[in-house]
Amino acid sequence: MRSTRTTLRTLATGLAAVLLSTSRLRAQVTPAAGYTPPDDTPSYKIGAVIYTDYTWTDEPQITDVDGNQVDPSSFNVTRAYINVTGNINHLVAFRITPDITRQTLTGGGTLSDNESMVFRLKYAFGQFNLDDSWKSKGSWVRLGAQQTPYLDWLEQIYRYRFQGTMGLEREGYFSSSDFGLSTHYNFPGNYGDVHGGYYNGETYARAEANDQKGIQIRATLRPAPMVASLKGLRLSAFYIDDHYAKDDPRKRVVFTLTYEQKWVTFGAEHLDATDQVNAAAPRIESSEWSVWATPKLGKGWELLLRHDATTPNDDVDADRTRNIGGVAYWFKTTAPNAQASLLLDYEHVSNDETLARPDETRYALHALFAF
């Protein structure tokens, strides 16, 4: 009997020790006062972006069905996004964005809706947020059809994508979207960011053609984010290392300076490119530079001033220049992702005779609607 009592007393003492240890452990992992756990509730949002315009072309003229020389004009919708974004939890997010394009007839077939506006996939990616592990808000990894590192970033500063694409995209040097895997990191203290990825290289509009992949990386530095007069200054470098096929290079190097302040936003960029479309084709070096400014006049009014200059082949003395000028009104909104604007603009493209392309002159009224 005494042995049984001793055993029970020993068990009771051990159980008390375990309970005391557990209590202490729980006290150690109890969240600190004021701690708010991350919100892991699944959510989604739906938005849209519309670019529409009326454009009258002064040159070149076209010939109508009766043989008359006319100045073409048309109402257009150049972009119609439906954005579906959301979060599975605070670590996993997604985006799906279809966009319109003009369907064209290829290969001699017949389509009942030839030249209709149809939807195609622009973005479709999953995102793994790294805020917890990297301690840098806005850091992530993406997989799928997604923004490439340069154009989407620049268009957050240059707000006039609804007038037309940036000079480097308009000349076909690269695209705003592609299929791939990328990662993004924000430097602490708002000193800049870096975004790099591994992409098909054929853009979102075409399927992968072979075994070649492209590396794209952009690094941006804010030299003085704490100085009021200089916090809007950013210096950036962008690089693409890709190939049309093995040993046929497709390379891009871009240096960019942007500056934002209350009364003006300014940007300047320079590109050097190397292209060899196949082994039998010559290797071509080309270049482009672009400068733009958007002076703010107050009460929602802004000016758009832009000049692009392209040399399609550095070994040939022939350039193409583009000049854009316009006045815009931005409607006041209470939400940062809701925008509406009207832009009346003039655009002239001048080609040297060696390029064997006609000059272009257009007048347009552009409209942006986004929410």
Residue 107 neighbours by CB distance under 10 Å: 4
Length of the chain: 371
Identify whether 98 is part of a domain: no
Report d(CA 42, CA 89) in Å as an integer: 6
Report d(CA 224, CA 226) in Å as an integer: 6
Domain extent, residue 321, equals 130-370
- Domain of 200: which CATH number? 2.40.160.10
Residue 261 neighbours by CB distance under 10 Å: 14
In contact, 176 and 151? CB cutoff 8 Å: yes
Identify whether 96 is part of a domain: no
Identify whether 355 is part of a domain: yes
Identify whether 297 is part of a domain: yes
Triad 309, 312, 315: Cα angle to 5°: 115
Amino acid 307: pLDDT = 98
Identify whether 197 is part of a domain: yes
Amino acid 34: pLDDT = 62
Tell me the H-state helices in the chain: 2-29, 131-134, 151-155, 167-170
pLDDT value at 27 more than 90? no
| The total number of structural domains that make up the chain | 1
Identify whether 278 is part of a domain: yes
pLDDT value at 11 more than 90? no
Q: Reduced to 3 DSSP states, what percent helix, strand and coil does the chain have, rounded to the nearest 5? A: 15, 50, 35
Amino acid 132: pLDDT = 83
Structure tokens at 9: 């007393």
Identify whether 323 is part of a domain: yes
Identify whether 185 is part of a domain: yes
Structure tokens at 213: 């992949």
**pLDDT tens per residue across span 80-118:** 999 999 999 999 999 999 998 887 766 555 555 567 888
Structure tokens at 5: 């009592």
Amino acid 139: pLDDT = 94
| 13 or 156, greater pLDDT | 156
Residue 35's pLDDT band, with cuts at 50, 70 and 90, is low
Amino acid 107: pLDDT = 56
Nearest in space to 345 (alpha carbons), one of 307, 305, 309: 305
| 206 or 362, greater pLDDT | 362
